[in-house]
Every structure is written in structure tokens, then in C-alpha cells.
Amino acid sequence: MTHDPYGDADLVELYDIDNPGGVDHEFYRALADEIDARRILDLGCGTGLLTRSLVAPGREVTGVDPSTTMLDHARRGPGAEAVTWVLGDADAIAPTADLDLVLCTGNAIMHLDPDALQAAFRRVAAALRPGGVLAFETRHPAAAEWRTWTREATEGTRETHLGPLREWIEVIRTDLDAAGEGVVVFDAHNVLADGTDRVFTSELWFRGVGTVSTALTAAGFEDVRIDGGWSGEPVGDNTRLLVVRAVHGG
């Protein structure tokens, strides 16, 4: 068992197949265009699929991720040479005060515990220029999506470059308040043809609108906008995803 859910080079190869990017990537690319972002940093960039697609003439794009396997994969992708790749977490972001846009996509922000989140927001604020934008998405606690993360609901088998793969996820611990905010710990099981089960444990922090807004404001962000989807939907009880953008006040 490992606590780096992205630490297996074989399984990382499957990440882009499972997460090809869609309306989420379109949203972030459109945001970069809308604010005419020249300097972009993608925190928790993973395999870099979105990061590489942000490259454009006159733009500097940086991808930061603490997983060696994810970043190694990112470095091999088409167009990777146009991106600066940095191994690390938010602590690796220099306080340059010149970035136009910082992204944290694929719910990567949910890996950060409350202290790490606050510290990361401060690091990001110090790296953005006044008026620069931070954008990310995070699962909405009210939807309690983790309730469906059971072996019964998720188990399946598929053909992969490794041969047949049987996989499922299973919640092993929750510590949530009445609003569904807090931490969910789950195991991802990956059983290959030889019968070995590669188990990866993830810890995800669910936060609501108030918690996210308070943390952003405390780090010096203003104009916090939180939508209930990629098309500006209002947040409601059935909202599954919070789409967040905030402006660094300077």
C-alpha cells in the first residue's frame, strides 16, 4: 500500500484514458484566453494534458506536481518541451508576483488538508500579480459523491496495456461534519492478471462554499466567484462540483 495514489508508473499510463479532458479543460483554456494570461502555472498538473494544451505564442506555462511518476509522464507528452515542469507542491512556487493565472484542476485541490490549503493559497497569492486569477474546482459536499465509492458500485474489469485489469474503489474512513465537509479516505484497488492487487490510498477534503471563500479571503483574494458547474450554474443542493475563481487583491 502506498499513500501516493499516483505513484505507479504502469497505472499512470491509464490516467489520460480515464481523464481525457472535456468541458473542464475547455473552461480553463477559455479563462486563460479571456484574461489574456501570459504567465500560467498549473498546480497539481499531473500528466500535464491540460497544461500542454495551454501553450500558445507569447505565453509561459509551468506545471507543478509532487508526483515523480505523473511529472515524468507529463515530460514525455507531445509539446512538453514548451512547458517548464517543476517537481513539488505549492511550496515550490516562487513569490514572483507576476503570474496572470494559477490553475489547480482535476480536483487536485482536494488533496490538501486545511493547513496545506491555507498555506498553498498564500503561496499562490504571492506568485500572482495584483489582479491575477486563481481557478480550481472541488467536489460539493452536499452531493456526498463518496457514498457511491463502494466496491459494489465501482468494480469492473477492462483490457489495458498491462492485460486485464480488475479495479474498484472503496471508502475506508470518513470524518465529516453535518454539512458533509471534512475528509474521506478511500482505497483504489487494481488487480492485474497475476493476481497482485496494487492498492493506493487517497485522502480527499470536501469543502463547501463558505469554507472555500473564507480560506481564499484570508489569503488576500477578493472577487471570489463560486459557480455550481462549468457554465456558471448557481450552487444548489444538487450541485456536484464547485467551480471557483478568485482575484488576487495585491
The sign of the dihedral angle between the CA atoms of 124, 35, 46, 174 is positive
Within a 10 A sphere around the Cβ of 53, how many other Cβ atoms? 18
For residue 193, the minimal CB distance to ligand SAM (Å) is 26
Question: Reduced to 3 states, what is the DSSP secondary structure of residue 15?
Answer: helix
Residue 105 binds to ligand SAM (criterion: CB under 6 A) = yes
Contact call for residues 198 and 211 (beta carbons, < 8 A):
no
Residue 215 binds to ligand SAM (criterion: CB under 6 A) = no
For residue 67, the minimal CB distance to ligand SAM (Å) is 3
Distances (CA, A) of 115 to 36, 111, 124, 225: 32, 11, 14, 22
Q: For ligand SAM, give the closer residue by CB, 21 or 182.
A: 21
Q: For ligand SAM, give the closer residue by CB, 110 or 165.
A: 110
Write each residue from 65 to 104 as x if it is in contact with ligand SAM (CB under 6 A), else as -, in one continuous string.
xxx--x------------------xx--------------
**Distance (Å, whole) CA 230 – CA 16:** 20
Q: Please, where are the H alpha helices in 84-224? A: 114-127, 151-154, 209-218
Q: For ligand SAM, give the closer residue by CB, 45 or 61.
A: 45
For residue 194, the minimal CB distance to ligand SAM (Å) is 26
What number of chain residues touch ligand SAM (CB under 6 A)?
20
Helix (H) or strand (E) segment spanning residue 183: strand 182-191
Q: For ligand SAM, give the closer residue by CB, 82 or 116.
A: 116
For residue 101, the minimal CB distance to ligand SAM (Å) is 14
Q: Which of residues 36-55 bind ligand SAM (CB under 6 A)?
A: 43-46, 50
Residue 111 binds to ligand SAM (criterion: CB under 6 A) = yes
Among residues 8, 10, 13, 19, the one that binds ligand SAM under rule CB under 6 A: 19
Residue 228 burial by CB count (10 A; 0-12/13-18/19+): exposed, middle or buried? buried
Residue 112 binds to ligand SAM (criterion: CB under 6 A) = yes
Question: Reduced to 3 states, what is the DSSP secondary structure of residue 86?
Answer: strand
Contact call for residues 200 and 7 (beta carbons, < 8 A):
yes
Q: For ligand SAM, give the closer residue by CB, 120 or 226.
A: 120
Residue 6 binds to ligand SAM (criterion: CB under 6 A) = yes
C-alpha cell at 32: 486563460
Residue 158 exposure: Cα atoms within 13 Å on the Cβ side:
12
For residue 241, the minimal CB distance to ligand SAM (Å) is 13
Residues that bind ligand SAM (CB under 6 A): 6, 19, 43-46, 50, 65-67, 70, 89-90, 105-108, 111-112, 116
